[in-house]
Amino acid sequence: MNLQQLPPLSLYVHVPWCLRKCPYCDFNSHEKKGELPEGEYVEALVADLEAALPNVWGRRLHTVFIGGGTPSLFTPEAIDRLLVAVRTRIPVDPQAEITMEANPGTFEAQRFRGYREAGVTRLSVGVQSFSDASLAAIGRVHDSREARAALASALTIFPTVNADLMYALPGQSIDAALADVREAIAIGVPHVSAYHLTLEPDTHFHRFPPRLPDEDAAADMQVAIERTLARAGYEHYETSAFARPGQRARHNLNYWTFGDYIGIGAGAHAKISFQDRIVRESRIRKPASYLRAALAGDALDESREVAPAELPFEFMLNALRLVEGFPIALFAERTGLPITVVRRELEQAEGAGLLERDHLRIRPTGKGQRFLNDLLERFLPDGNRQPPPRAIRMVPRDTSRSS
Residues of the shown chain interacting with ligand SF4 in the complex, contacts defined by CB under 6 A: 18, 21-22, 25, 27, 29, 68-70, 103, 126, 403
Q: Is 142 or 378 the residue whose CB approaches ligand SF4 more closely?
A: 142
Question: What residues form DSSP beta bridges with 242?
Answer: 192, 236
CA–CA gap between residue 294 and residue 271 (Å, rounded): 18
For residue 72, the minimal CB distance to ligand SF4 (Å) is: 10
CB 143 within 8 A of CB 192: no
For residue 54, the minimal CB distance to ligand SF4 (Å) is: 31
Q: Is 45 or 342 the residue whose CB approaches ligand SF4 more closely?
A: 45
Query: Quick count: other Cβ atoms within 10 Å of Cβ 221?
Result: 24
For residue 125, the minimal CB distance to ligand SF4 (Å) is: 11
Q: Is 264 or 311 the residue whose CB approaches ligand SF4 more closely?
A: 264
Q: Is 25 or 264 the residue whose CB approaches ligand SF4 more closely?
A: 25
Q: Is 70 or 124 the residue whose CB approaches ligand SF4 more closely?
A: 70
CB 69 within 8 A of CB 17: yes
Question: What residues form DSSP beta bridges with 243?
Answer: 191, 235
CA–CA gap between residue 357 and residue 338 (Å, rounded): 16
For residue 195, the minimal CB distance to ligand SF4 (Å) is: 10
User: Taking the CA atoms of the chain, what radius of gyration do you get in angstroms?
Assistant: 20
CA–CA gap between residue 361 and residue 323 (Å, rounded): 12
Q: For the chain, give me the number of helices (H) and strands (E)?
A: 16, 17
For residue 351, the minimal CB distance to ligand SF4 (Å) is: 40
Residue nearest to ligand SF4 (CB): 403
Q: Is 20 or 292 the residue whose CB approaches ligand SF4 more closely?
A: 20
Query: Quick count: other Cβ atoms within 10 Å of Cβ 260?
Result: 24
Type of residue at 165: L
For residue 18, the minimal CB distance to ligand SF4 (Å) is: 3
CB 117 within 8 A of CB 76: yes
Instruction: For residue 259, say if its preceding peptide bond is cis, omega within 30 degrees of 0.
Output: no
CB 364 within 8 A of CB 317: no
For residue 171, the minimal CB distance to ligand SF4 (Å) is: 19
Q: Is 28 or 239 the residue whose CB approaches ligand SF4 more closely?
A: 28
Reduced DSSP (H G I as helix, E B as strand, rest coil) percent helix, strand, coil of the chain, to 5: 40, 25, 35
